[in-house]
Chains A and B, each alone.
Chain A
Amino acid sequence: MALDKPGEDYEGRTSYTHVGTRVDRPDGLDKVTGRAKFGADAHAPGMLHGAIVRSPHAHAKILKIDTSKAEALAGVKAVVTRADFATGLEGEEWNVLENVMASDTALYDGHALAAIAATSSLIARDAVKLVEVEYELLPHVTDVDEAMKPDAPVIRAGQQSKLVPEGMHPNVVNYYEGGHGDMDAGFAEADLVIERHFTTEAAHQGYIEPHAALATLGADGKGELWCCTQGHFIVQKTCAALVGIDTSQLRVTASEIGGGFGGKTTVFLEPLALALSRKSNRPVKMVMSRSEILRATGPTSSASMDIKIGMTKDGRITAGKGVFRLQGGAFPDAPAGMAAECSFAPYNLNAVSIEGYEVMANRPKQAAYRAPGSPMAAFAVESVVDELCKALELDPIETRLKNASREGTKAAYGPTWDRIGLVECLEAAQAHPHMQAPLRESEGRGVAAGFWFNHGGETSVSLALSEDGTAQISVGTPDIGGSRASMALMAAEILGIEYENIRVTVADTATLGYNDVSHGSRVTYASGLATINAAKDAVGKLCDRAAQRWGIDPEAVIWEDGCAKPAGPNAGQFDPMPLKEITQRMGRTGGPISGHFEATPEGAGVSFGVHIVDAHVDRETGKTSIDRYTVIQDAGKAVHPTYVEGQFQGGAAQGIGWALNEEYVYGEDGRLQNTVFLDYRIPVASDLPMIDTVIVEVPNPGHPFGVRGVGETGICPPLAAIANAVSGAVGVRMTSLPMSPPKILKALKEQ
């Protein structure tokens, strides 16, 4: 099937039997009764418990690690350091290894230096305290702008890509550039040009379930790993490389997952548990504490951005320029390029210029967090658009409609849009009662649009029919947002059997072909497309069996309402043959019937959203409360609307945290100050209003049912929408996140 040409796959159905219904979730009972097995629920007879020795310094040469006292402690069975891992790795694999186990330098507060396995976790933790490390302290830098200054300490020399403009500090490791049109002419055409500087702090994905892994690895190089992850195939590949075994010799099983949001798309504990198991010859279990999670797993980047936009009096954007500097920890790959690419995506511009800088600092390696790069870019661009609208007395939605990207618009980063749903989202926002509701004193209303690419990725699905007419589906993408329900709904639609008669399992790495991580909002799209095609593959075989039985040509059989039927009167007169009738005989008529599909689909279909927020600010304390919130987003086709709404609300909730109070607070010493949820302030339930949702459905040409991913776009507009609301409430433009009470009060006083 040709999937490389997006746009060919949408079937254009006008009605569905199963897709679009709000069926019960298949994991519901397990989760409410506690039967569901999360990462830390794994247990093996004789298992040891691991703990990690971490650097208390932001930047230090490791002169010596003396583990002798720890090894002498009763109950300690193994200690590993970098020497116990593979050598000769390159590129991202080297970076991941360096992040999970330092070689010669501690690059951030919390950087792992050694790991210990003992008969109890208390003993392991006590042993950690007995490890003596000699350091030579090095100067450190944690702020992105500081890290780019000429006199900033060099974090790791030799990492700079050739794309980086000459003369930049070695901490600037990569550069991205894009855009089109004549910028000078564009700005000259404008009646008003506004240019502003914006900053955002790093925010953690804040998943409630801690990282956890249970590993066995024998001297024969065969291993088993159970862990919570968004992608066990990447865990398999990476861990095998890091401990130096063949990929296929390591079987990885993904547990239920208690949140990931991008942060569980890489490895942290897993290779350490494997190395400890190999050394101790026992299963080893490791679970992170919250403080380890905050200090040493990836938050998103912090950012420093400059935006300049010109607008005519009647609201036409004449030119837009954005510079995005993203700090990615002591490693390359901060999503600066993606920030730049997403920044002006909602706008149809004749002149646009975007630049991104990836910057290293003494912080943990950034990890993906829902639409990496896009939320901060939207914050900066949508703030300036809002300010222009205010200054020119223009309606914010009308103005966005006037400039909106639509089918045929050329994006700043190159592509020309296929069918997209931004205009429909803006129109839905305009018509929403929220826009007409009166505001109370000290309350502001903010509007913002947001964009995310969405992704396809390597995908493989198997579907097996059982003799009783039910089906089981094996997918390789951990269910992080309701995908088991969605896969079953889509398969039910094709097979014509009931949703309840389908069980979807996240298969381990030994039972299915490679699958990319559950990221990029790709699962309902790509695993969904693969599920539909696997079901069609099975349907083809079902039709073959019916044809065999009827003694007619397979082409003369069609599949309808769960039955094989003769294609027309010429094909012959036969009663419809239900699926169950065929599967009951399948052993005798040619063997088991399964459907398969493998591909790297590329028609993911981008997605846009528009958020409306009412925020109230207590002018005496600077405290913001979010009074009303509406999310409007294009889902292409909502396979399970309740899950889609949940994704919209989740994105908004996390955006509220990032906008108002979440931040990484580093001390002068470069140590993270707020390493528990008491001080790393994600919103609690009572901080949030009911978040209203509107699902817009503009079908994605690249999916049989028109599905677009919905997992990430929901976090793109909130930072901007909330900043616009708060700026309206206080009468001062807020350009730095989080908009914590001290910052707002200060801005009010300086007014």
Chain B
Amino acid sequence: MKYHQPSSFADASAIAAGASGVTRYLAGGTDVLVQLRADLVTPDDLIDVKKIDGVHDIVRNSDDSWTIGVAVTGAEMSEHPALCQDWPGVVEAMDLIGSTQVQGRATLVGNLCNGSPAADSVPAMVAADISVTVIGPKGERTIKVEDMPTGPGRTVLEKGDIVTAVHVPSRGDNAGDAYLRFIPRTEMDIAVVGCAVNLRLDGDTITEARVSLGAVAPTVLLVQEAADAIIGTTLDDKALEALSKAAEAACNPINDKRGTIEFRVEVAGVLAKRAAKIAYARAKGKAV
């Protein structure tokens, strides 16, 4: 195994493009090193991204959007009050990952690029309409998070591609987001179902919404029908019921050691309702 520590994304991309065997980037390593130790993936080239300029920064741009570096950890996000204020759902999703120790290493980009359908931060990023910039042999491009995963363990990234930053839209007024996951324990578990809701209000009425589900299909889902169920409503019981039905209908899960199809579908509807209520309250300015 060769370990690389490039100082620029261009170098990192070039190393990856020129490599012939199994290649992995090393952000927090909380997936890569675990897979290595378990003999699941033994990279021939391991490219550490943490020495590249700016990768540890959380930047608020002039238009109030955010740029988050590819090596920013979950703990650094949770400890950033302004980011928490703007995007509590994204931060809480990231914060659910692992333990205190894991939080000190794990990153959004690692969570996304590892490609797990159960990744916690991914539905929250999808609901928040977050995108990433990528450079590679074909140049630079921007990809929406919802377009990244193509199946369990797979993404649209090609040989030599590397994510260079995470771009979070400006929050704007009267808006809120939330993420909930179901696990049988209280922590240190993998989502059996995950659901993120991001919405904006005009008075009491929802004017914009994005609803995303994790762990209920081969990739994260952006569920337009679920958003439509609550747009134009005040999130009354009828709207919540419609939201729940739409979320259930979107599920295409599997039976596995973590949960049954029946269970995942049912709980997706429950979490959608609960997450929507939290996002709604946050949009109203309540601390939830």
If A291-B38, A679-B258 touch, whether A684 touches B263 (CB-CB below 8 Å) is no
Task: Kindly identify which residue among B182, B185, B187 contacts A621, using a CB–CB cutoff of 8 Å.
Answer: B182
A660: chain B residues within 8 A (beta carbon): 184
Contact across chains for A681 and B190 when beta carbons are under 8 A apart: no
How many Cβ-Cβ contacts under 8 Å join chain A to chain B?
55
**Is there a chain B Cβ closer than 8 Å to A674's Cβ?**
yes
Contact across chains for A622 and B257 when beta carbons are under 8 A apart: no
Mind listing 11 A-B residue pairs with CB under 8 Å? A623-B182, A623-B184, A665-B257, A678-B188, A679-B190, A684-B187, A686-B185, A686-B186, A740-B184, A742-B262, A745-B267
**Is there a chain A Cβ closer than 8 Å to B189's Cβ?**
yes
| B269 to A, closest residue via Cβ | A620
Task: Kindly identify which residue among B39, B184, B190, B256 contacts A661, using a CB–CB cutoff of 8 Å.
Answer: B184
Contact code string A662-695 (vs B, CB < 8 Å = 1, else 0): 0001000000011011110101101100000000
| B274 to A, closest residue via Cβ | A620
A291: chain B residues within 8 A (beta carbon): 38
A677 to B99 CA separation, bound complex (whole angstroms) = 13
**Is there a chain B Cβ closer than 8 Å to A125's Cβ?**
yes
B260: chain A residues within 8 A (beta carbon): 742
Contact across chains for A125 and B39 when beta carbons are under 8 A apart: yes
Contact across chains for B39 and A684 when beta carbons are under 8 A apart: no
A118 to chain B, nearest CB (A): 15
Task: Kindly identify which residue among A125, A621, A674 contacts B267, using a CB–CB cutoff of 8 Å.
Answer: A621
B96 to chain A, nearest CB (A): 13
B39: chain A residues within 8 A (beta carbon): 125
Contact across chains for A681 and B189 when beta carbons are under 8 A apart: yes
A413 to B128 CA separation, bound complex (whole angstroms) = 65
A213 to chain B, nearest CB (A): 20
Contact across chains for A745 and B186 when beta carbons are under 8 A apart: no
Task: Kindly identify which residue among A125, A684, A745 contacts B188, using a CB–CB cutoff of 8 Å.
Answer: A684
| A744 to B, closest residue via Cβ | B263
**Is there a chain B Cβ closer than 8 Å to A746's Cβ?**
yes
Per CB-CB distance, the 10 closest pairs between chain A and chain B, nearest first, are A742-B263, A686-B186, A665-B257, A673-B257, A620-B270, A674-B257, A661-B184, A742-B260, A684-B188, A687-B186
| A618 to B, closest residue via Cβ | B270
- A694-751 contacts to B (CB < 8 Å): 740-742, 745-746
**Is there a chain A Cβ closer than 8 Å to B259's Cβ?**
yes
B60 to chain A, nearest CB (A): 33
How many B residues have CB within 8 A of the partner chain? 21
B208: chain A residues within 8 A (beta carbon): none
A681 to B189 CA separation, bound complex (whole angstroms) = 8
A665: chain B residues within 8 A (beta carbon): 257
B267: chain A residues within 8 A (beta carbon): 620-621, 741, 745
A107 to chain B, nearest CB (A): 22
B185: chain A residues within 8 A (beta carbon): 661, 681, 683-684, 686-687
A682 to chain B, nearest CB (A): 9
Contact across chains for B263 and A741 when beta carbons are under 8 A apart: yes
A741 to B270 CA separation, bound complex (whole angstroms) = 13
A622 to B258 CA separation, bound complex (whole angstroms) = 14
Contact code string B237-278 (vs A, CB < 8 Å = 1, else 0): 000000000000000000011111011001100100000000
| B39 to A, closest residue via Cβ | A125
A623: chain B residues within 8 A (beta carbon): 182, 184
B184: chain A residues within 8 A (beta carbon): 623, 660-661, 681, 740-741
B270: chain A residues within 8 A (beta carbon): 620-621
A686 to B39 CA separation, bound complex (whole angstroms) = 30
A746: chain B residues within 8 A (beta carbon): 262-263
A674: chain B residues within 8 A (beta carbon): 257
A606 to B20 CA separation, bound complex (whole angstroms) = 66
B182: chain A residues within 8 A (beta carbon): 621, 623, 741
A142 to chain B, nearest CB (A): 14
Contact across chains for B187 and A686 when beta carbons are under 8 A apart: yes
| A291 to B, closest residue via Cβ | B38
Contact code string B121-147 (vs A, CB < 8 Å = 1, else 0): 000000000000000000000000000
A741 to B39 CA separation, bound complex (whole angstroms) = 31
A684: chain B residues within 8 A (beta carbon): 185-188
- B71-88 contacts to A (CB < 8 Å): none
B58 to chain A, nearest CB (A): 28
A621: chain B residues within 8 A (beta carbon): 182, 267, 270
Task: Kindly identify which residue among B186, B189, B263 contacts A678, using a CB–CB cutoff of 8 Å.
Answer: B189
| B193 to A, closest residue via Cβ | A621
A610 to chain B, nearest CB (A): 27
A265 to chain B, nearest CB (A): 28
B263: chain A residues within 8 A (beta carbon): 622, 741-742, 745-746
A103 to chain B, nearest CB (A): 26
B189: chain A residues within 8 A (beta carbon): 678, 681
A681 to B258 CA separation, bound complex (whole angstroms) = 10
| A672 to B, closest residue via Cβ | B257
B24 to chain A, nearest CB (A): 17
Contact across chains for B187 and A678 when beta carbons are under 8 A apart: no
A455 to chain B, nearest CB (A): 34
Contact across chains for B257 and A679 when beta carbons are under 8 A apart: yes
Most buried by A among B184, B259, B266, B267: B184
A726 to B170 CA separation, bound complex (whole angstroms) = 46
Most buried by A among B39, B256, B257: B257
B80 to chain A, nearest CB (A): 24
| B260 to A, closest residue via Cβ | A742
- B39-83 contacts to A (CB < 8 Å): 39
Contact across chains for A745 and B256 when beta carbons are under 8 A apart: no
A551 to B88 CA separation, bound complex (whole angstroms) = 86
A673 to B190 CA separation, bound complex (whole angstroms) = 15
- A602-635 contacts to B (CB < 8 Å): 620-623
Give 15 A-B pairs besides A289-B38, A673-B257, A678-B188 with Cβ atoms closer than 8 angstroms: A621-B267, A622-B263, A623-B184, A661-B184, A673-B256, A679-B190, A681-B184, A683-B185, A684-B185, A684-B187, A741-B182, A741-B263, A741-B267, A745-B263, A746-B263
B256: chain A residues within 8 A (beta carbon): 673
A661: chain B residues within 8 A (beta carbon): 184-185
Contact across chains for B259 and A742 when beta carbons are under 8 A apart: yes
A736 to chain B, nearest CB (A): 14
B38: chain A residues within 8 A (beta carbon): 289, 291, 676
B218 to chain A, nearest CB (A): 18
A620 to B277 CA separation, bound complex (whole angstroms) = 15
A621 to B182 CA separation, bound complex (whole angstroms) = 8
A673 to B256 CA separation, bound complex (whole angstroms) = 9
A75 to chain B, nearest CB (A): 16
A626 to chain B, nearest CB (A): 11
A686: chain B residues within 8 A (beta carbon): 185-187
B219 to chain A, nearest CB (A): 21
A686 to B270 CA separation, bound complex (whole angstroms) = 23
A745 to B185 CA separation, bound complex (whole angstroms) = 16
| A675 to B, closest residue via Cβ | B38
B229 to chain A, nearest CB (A): 18
B17 to chain A, nearest CB (A): 28
B254 to chain A, nearest CB (A): 12
A409 to chain B, nearest CB (A): 40
| A666 to B, closest residue via Cβ | B257
| B182 to A, closest residue via Cβ | A621
If A621-B182, A665-B257 touch, whether A745 touches B266 (CB-CB below 8 Å) is yes
| A624 to B, closest residue via Cβ | B184
A661 to B260 CA separation, bound complex (whole angstroms) = 14
A678: chain B residues within 8 A (beta carbon): 188-190
- A280-307 contacts to B (CB < 8 Å): 289, 291
Contact code string A139-174 (vs B, CB < 8 Å = 1, else 0): 000000000000000000000000000000000000
A125 to B42 CA separation, bound complex (whole angstroms) = 12
B192: chain A residues within 8 A (beta carbon): 741
A494 to B186 CA separation, bound complex (whole angstroms) = 48
A740 to B256 CA separation, bound complex (whole angstroms) = 13
B259: chain A residues within 8 A (beta carbon): 741-742
A677 to B257 CA separation, bound complex (whole angstroms) = 13
| B258 to A, closest residue via Cβ | A679
- B173-188 contacts to A (CB < 8 Å): 182, 184-188
